[in-house]
Amino acid sequence: MKTRQQVLLVGAMAGSIAVTLFTGCASTAQTPGSKAGAQPKYSPAVPAKITTPDTVVTRIGTLRYRDGTPDAATVQLAYDQLDFNRGMDAFLRGMSATSVYALCRGIEEAGAKPNQGIGIAEDLLNARSLFLTPNTTTVYAMLSVDLTDGPMVVRVPPRVLGPVDDADFRWVTDVGLTGPDKGAGGDYLFVPPGYKGPLPATGYFIAKPRTYRLLIFYRAFVEKGDIAAAVAGVKAKAAVFPLSAAANPPATTFVNVSNVKFNTISANDFSYYDELNAVVQHEPADWVDPDTVGLYAAIGIQKGKPFAPDARMKKILTDAVAVGNAVARSDLFASRDPRTRIYQDRQWFTPFVGGSYQFLNGAERLLDARIMFFYYATGITPAMTESKPGTGSAYAITVRDSTGAYLDGSRTYKVTLPGPIPAKDFWSFTAYDNQTRSLLPTDQRLAGVDSTVPGIQMNPDGGVTIWFSPKPPAGHEKNWVQTWPGKGYNAALRLYGPLEPWFNQTWRPSDLELVK
């Protein structure tokens, strides 16, 4: 015998089934592919925009449905597209992290081990070392810090300038002139995420980053062309050691990275995802926001689990990184954002759009600006946004001549900086390889020219004309940047201590003009 409760439950289930069937009939009668028949008594007015036709032709193929339910082929197309989209987004979003990873790996490859060594470009950088858009006029010091085993101390020498960035290229602090030491030097204490131990009350500039791995780059100022003195100043004061060994710190190893072949640029092929996985496995689970953690997990990159895509997923990700790379290169070399153009009538552009080191415009993240910057450059700091006349540096990039054609290393161009040039300190031109975004390989050691070069020829108005070509034009040897036949390149103009005419654009450089 059925209890009253059982009768009620059965009745409720029957009513639910009846409503479901009845509603399904009403929906079927109103959606594409349904058979003609009488309208249900309780029939809604269904707008076409909320229904799905039985056949939809799209860029990924023809999608087929039976009264709104996808067939097996459509399900496969949909998931293939979703996995592709997420793979491409993971490349465009995660290149900031893999760039830090590749930089730290490259510095270690050059001989400066994390937490132990500091690399110094004692004789400046040249094209044998692969870096994203370095300059060749500055003594760089670089080190990788890993907080996995506890707090680390980084001793910074006087009169340097540079940022500390975390494993996702987010700014942590500046050191040197724009940092809390104000150029006097000092000890910086970096505390790992989740650290609960005691910390010194005094004697350190303390920073608490969100990640274990940190990248530290700073420039040592060269005075009166004395590079050796700048190098000696770094070696005399710089150090890196664990806080636990602060009473008797181990010696820091200094490695000359000038003229050394090593790579600090992250991958553009499937191995990119291996690099990203290495970052995820090394960092805390919450090293980036939950949406980004979820994005990486959606393609199989998840902390504590092996990254082992099957043949289908590997093929999709191989395509995704290839298209993502095309997006990044298009964004850099053919931006559709008018804000990248410095002058409306010239080809010069800025790789740093929006004036925010976080790539924010109010509540909006400038996604394309972020992609452009991290694909082309390294180092994030608020100091990038705080230029004012007579301080810092200004950058202008061109990859095209005055006609809009890409620069060709086989041809000859000239560019004129009208006088007076608005640079309090000095100016420079550098050529970069379009493939690597690193220094253009030629027989010219510094891949450029600058105003400190002895014998450079100035124009009567105080300006200068610089030539870009495979061989030096007769009579212009000191004003020459060497290019290489068959190689595409982009040229960077830097003004150190830019003056007001740069900011108000009353001064403008010419485009690179083809010399026929």
> For residue 280, what is the DSSP state?
H
Q: Tell me how far CA of residue 222 lies from CA of 247, 425, 451, in angstroms.
A: 32, 11, 14
Give the pair of three-digit tokens for residue 248.
Answer: 């008797």
Mean residue pLDDT across the chain: 93
Q: What is the mean pLDDT of residues 14-19?
A: 39
C-beta of residue 110 within 8 angstroms of C-beta of residue 119 = yes
pLDDT digits (tens, 9 = 90+) for 207-263: 999 999 999 999 998 888 899 999 999 999 999 999 999 999 999 999 999 999 999
Tell me what pLDDT residue 439 has: 98
CATH code 3.40.470.10 for 387-514: no
Helix residue ranges, H only, 128-250: 227-237
Report percent pLDDT > 70 for the chain: 93
User: What are the helix (H) ranges across 31-139?
Assistant: 72-109
Q: What are the structure tokens assigned to 362, written together?
A: 């109010």
Query: In this structure, what DSSP letter does residue 421 have?
Result: P
Please classify residue 95 by burial: count the beta carbons closer than 10 Å to its beta carbon, then call 0-12 exposed, 13-18 middle and 19+ buried.
buried
Give me the pLDDT at residue 224, please.
83
> Is residue 165 a contact partner of residue 97, using CB atoms and an 8 Å limit?
no
Domain ranges of the chain: 4-73, 111-259, 387-514
Q: Is the dihedral of CA 174, 176, 181, 187 positive or negative?
A: positive
Please name every residue paired with 220 in a beta bridge, in sequence order, or none if there are none.
139, 160
Average pLDDT over residues 188-200: 97
Whether the per-residue pLDDT at 105 is higher than 50: the answer is yes
pTM value is: 0.91
CA–CA distance, 378 with 373 (Å, rounded to integer) = 8
pLDDT tier for residue 6 given thresholds of 50, 70 and 90: very low
> Cα–Cα distance between 511 and 507 in angstroms, integer?
13
Residue 22 has pLDDT above 60, yes or no: no
The helix (H) or strand (E) run that includes residue 503 is: helix 500-503
Bridging pattern class, strands 61-66 and 55-58: antiparallel
Residue whose tokens read 């007579």:
390
Neighbours of 202 (CB within 10 A): 4
Write the pLDDT tens digit of every residue in 305-344: 999 999 999 999 999 999 999 999 999 999 999 999 999 9
Tell me, rounded to whole angstroms, the distance of Cα 113 from its chain centroid: 23
Q: Please give the average per-residue pLDDT across 29-41, as a whole number.
A: 63
Give CA–CA dist 511/417, Å, rounded: 9
Q: What is the pLDDT of residue 36?
A: 58
Res 18 pLDDT > 90: no
* 4: enclosing H helix or E strand: helix 4-30
Quote the pLDDT of residue 223.
85
Q: Is the pLDDT of residue 30 over 50?
A: no
CB neighbours of 474 closer than 8 A, spacing ≥ 6?
none
How far apart are the C-alpha atoms of 468 and 485, rounded to whole Å?
12
- Mean pLDDT on 435-455: 96
Whether residue 414 contacts residue 511, with contact meaning beta carbons closer than 8 Å, is answered with no
Residue 135 near residue 494, CB atoms below 8 Å: yes
Task: Indicate if the pLDDT at residue 19 is higher than 90.
Answer: no
Instruction: Read off the pLDDT of residues 370-399 as tens digits, 9 standing for 90 and up.
Output: 999 999 999 999 998 877 899 888 999 999
493 touches 416 (CB < 8 A): no
The pair of structure tokens assigned to 84 is 């592709």
pLDDT given for residue 17 in this prediction: 36
Dist CA 254 CA 108 (whole Å): 12
Half-sphere exposure of 29 (CA within 13 A, CB side): 15
Question: What is the distance between the alpha carbons of residues 465 and 461, in angstroms, rounded to a whole number?
Answer: 11
d(CA 111, CA 108): 5
Mean pLDDT of 91-115: 98
Residue with tokens 């540096």: 393
pLDDT at 35: 55
Give the separation between CA 180 and CA 328, rounded to whole angstroms: 35
- Indicate the pairing of strand 171-176 with strand 160-166: antiparallel
Q: Considering only 117-121, 183-187, 264-268, 380-384, which range has the smallest mean pLDDT?
A: 380-384
CATH of domain 111-259: 2.60.40.1610
Report the Cα–Cα distance between both ends of the chain, in Å, rounded. Answer: 103
